[in-house]
Amino acid sequence: MKAKSFYPLAFSIPFVASAMKVELQNICKRFGTVQANDDVSLTVEAGSIHGLLGENGAGKSTLVKVLSGFITRDRGTLLLDGRPVEVKTPADAIAVGIGMLHQDPLDFPPLSVLDNFLVGKSGSLFTNRRQAFRDFQRLAAQFNFALNANEKVSNLTVGERQQLEILRLLSLGVKTLILDEPTTGISASQKDELFAAAEQLAAQGKSIIFVSHKLEDVNALCDRVTVMRHGQVVGNLEIPCPDEALVELMFGRELAPPVKPKTRQDAIALELKTISLSTDRLSVKIPDLTVHQGEVIGLAGLEGGGQQLLLLLCAGLLKASSGTIRVNDVDMTAKLYREYLTAGIGYSPADRLRDGLIRGLSIHEHVALRTPPNGFFVDWKGTLEKALHAIALFNIRGKPQTHVERLSGGNQQRTQLALLPVPLNLLLMEHPTRGLDIESVLWVWQQLIARCEGGTAIIFTSSDLDEIMQYSDRVIVFSGDVVSEPIDVAELTVDRLGQMIGGKMGAQSQKLSVST
């Protein structure tokens, strides 16, 4: 086991013994014809951080939802410190000391941080809020979580909401903490704080289950890893171990990244001149930009730095305060969103279920929405054939009747790509591979490169600097109060790009101001 730093806790909640060994034996769970967990066994020692690694749809989340009471297993045994227990609901799990931090934290955004901290507490009708506030402050201080107890949760970032949920679960006496894909959508500093907190908890004897598809995160944090593929355990390894060994277990083969050829053409796909963009908190001046057909422009910078505003402008979803935008030499400055669609512009948002897809609708229904109706009626037979074709072509692990919220993150992204029209003049993407496993990342970029070869220009934003460097032809950097001129990727390194994001921008940049 890796050495951990010990940070004693000192907060006034009932003391619960920390150490707990967890054993899952022969767990099986089926959803219709899909065997999500097939005879899965897993042992997590007290005082350890145990990684659960696998591609999207491997069965990781199903397994930990069984352990945390959100899903009832079909068969199998759960042992805590060698004693069999029954966990059929989340309340059962909390009662025996198991808590789960979900990818999207389960909280109440309209309520304050302190109100959310109190959720699940047993006791009298009237709560001693003064004591609860002291408990919250002491617990947050132990992990260096800078949370304001009076702030509304709706104003917090995903990373801050995670921190709040961890504190709430600990205050309820959790001894085994499950972290389900926790590094998706949080900043680098918040990831450091999360990892430090996990190490503190392991040092106290608590067991941590870290669910991920990211090799670098597992190698950085965990003591041991269990790898799943197609609902089964395919291996257990001590950490650290070579990435190649983990990839081989996850996918059964080596994976080679796609090579991006030079696809830039002479024809111009997009022109921006003297563009200014404004919201209630941010004003951005974009350097004049000419994007050629087949070219890929990467937008690099911290979250909220203005990259999304540029994408929304080019998609016709945000109007410029000043300046002009031309697509294929047509002035689109004052055009409506539907005219941008007609001009062959596609937009793929980062939040797939909130902005890109519709909860409660199936893959087939999404295809039907994208298909022009035949008169007043939907051609359900024809759209079913299109849905089956899209599922096969994009290798979506689902059926036409599968609701999109039941798909894994990778399959949701594949569905979004399947719904984009062909051909496109301009494709705009926010974090195209966020939350995806390695195989899905490579598959997505194979599709995007194929689009470029057909003449589509792509503008995308990503927090992964290696992704920016690998696939961009030119890069625009957003940092603090400046936006850089487009820079040829051949003139950049990952280190220099990181320094520019951190403020060392150089002379060629435009001012960006934050409204107060």
The 3-state DSSP class for residue 460 equals strand
Token reading at 289: 């930009």
- In this predicted structure, what is the pLDDT of residue 254? 64
Q: Alpha-carbon distance 239 to 440, whole Å?
A: 24
11, pLDDT greater than 50: no
Phi and psi at 96, nearest 5°, equal -100, 5
- Is residue 396 a part of any domain in this protein? no
Q: Are residues 227 and 282 in the same domain?
A: no
Domain span at 492: 268-344+421-514
DSSP conformation class of 354: I
Element (H, E) at 492: none
Q: DSSP letters of 78-110?
A: EEETTEE----SHHHHHHTTEEEE-SS----TT
Burial of 254 (0-12, 13-18, 19+ CB in 10 A): exposed
Closest among 453, 452, 501, 499 to 480, alpha carbons compared:
501
In sequence order, the β-bridge partners of residue 210 are 51, 179
The answer to whether 26 and 73 have CB atoms below 8 angstroms apart is: no
Residue that terminates a domain, selected from 199, 223, 251:
251
Residue that terminates a domain, selected from 251, 278, 309:
251
Burial of 392 (0-12, 13-18, 19+ CB in 10 A): exposed
- Is residue 232 a part of any domain in this protein? yes
Q: Are residues 190 and 288 in the same domain?
A: no
Q: DSSP letters of 265-326?
A: -SSEEEEEEEEEEE-SSEEEEEPPEEEETT-EEEEEESTTSSHHHHHHHHHTSS--SEEEEE
In sequence order, the β-bridge partners of residue 229 are 232
Q: pLDDT tens for residues 111-162?
A: 999 999 998 887 656 678 888 899 999 999 999 999 999 999 988 888 899 9
- Is residue 484 a part of any domain in this protein? yes
Q: pLDDT tens for residues 216-257?
A: 899 999 999 999 988 999 999 999 888 888 888 888 766 667
Q: Are residues 247 and 276 in the same domain?
A: no
Q: Alpha-carbon distance 55 to 229, whole Å?
A: 7
- In this predicted structure, what is the pLDDT of residue 249? 87
- Is residue 506 a part of any domain in this protein? yes
Residue found under tokens 């930990």 = 64
Q: Are residues 48 and 102 in the same domain?
A: yes
- CATH code of the domain containing 175: 3.40.50.300
Residue found under tokens 């005219």 = 339
Confidence bin at 375 (pLDDT 50/70/90): confident
Q: Are residues 95 and 218 in the same domain?
A: yes
Token reading at 51: 């990684």
Closest among 338, 296, 293, 343 to 317, alpha carbons compared:
338
- Is residue 364 a part of any domain in this protein? no
Q: Are residues 155 and 278 in the same domain?
A: no
In sequence order, the β-bridge partners of residue 54 are 228
Q: Structural domain tally of the chain?
A: 2
Q: Are residues 34 and 92 in the same domain?
A: yes
Q: Alpha-carbon distance 243 to 239, whole Å?
A: 10
Q: Are residues 292 and 430 in the same domain?
A: yes
Q: Are residues 242 and 285 in the same domain?
A: no
- Is residue 384 a part of any domain in this protein? no
Confidence bin at 481 (pLDDT 50/70/90): low
Model confidence, pTM: 0.70
- In this predicted structure, what is the pLDDT of residue 10? 33
- Is residue 274 a part of any domain in this protein? yes
Q: Are strands 509-514 and 282-286 parallel, antiparallel or unpaired?
A: antiparallel
- Is residue 383 a part of any domain in this protein? no
Q: Are residues 212 and 327 in the same domain?
A: no
Amino acid, single-letter form, for residue 425: N
Amino acid, single-letter form, for residue 294: G
Residue found under tokens 């967890």 = 22
For the chain, what is the mean pLDDT?
Answer: 87
Q: Alpha-carbon distance 441 to 435, whole Å?
A: 9
Q: pLDDT tens for residues 430-444?
A: 998 887 777 888 888
Q: pLDDT tens for residues 376-398?
A: 788 899 999 999 999 998 888 88
Q: Alpha-carbon distance 23 to 83, whole Å?
A: 9
Q: Are residues 437 and 321 in the same domain?
A: yes
Q: Are residues 114 and 139 in the same domain?
A: yes
Q: pLDDT tens for residues 30-64?
A: 988 778 999 999 999 999 999 999 887 788 989 99
The answer to whether 239 and 218 have CB atoms below 8 angstroms apart is: yes
The answer to whether 283 and 318 have CB atoms below 8 angstroms apart is: no
Q: DSSP letters of 396-451?
A: -SS-TT-BGGGS-HHHHHHHHHHHS-SS-SEEEEESTTTT--HHHHHHHHHHHHHH
Element (H, E) at 510: strand 509-514
Amino acid, single-letter form, for residue 59: G
Residue that terminates a domain, selected from 251, 284, 319:
251
Residue 230, CA distances (Å) to 38, 60, 454 in order: 8, 10, 34
The listed range with the strongest mean pLDDT (114-128, 203-217, 364-378) is: 203-217
- Rounded to 10 deg, the angle between the 129-142 and 158-171 helix axes is 110
The answer to whether 120 and 196 have CB atoms below 8 angstroms apart is: no
Q: pLDDT tens for residues 150-204?
A: 999 988 888 899 999 999 999 999 999 999 989 877 777 888 999 999 999 999 9
- In this predicted structure, what is the pLDDT of residue 136? 94
Instruction: Count other C-beta atoms under 10 Å from residue 378's C-beta.
Output: 14
Check residues 240 and 14 and name the one with the higher pLDDT: 240
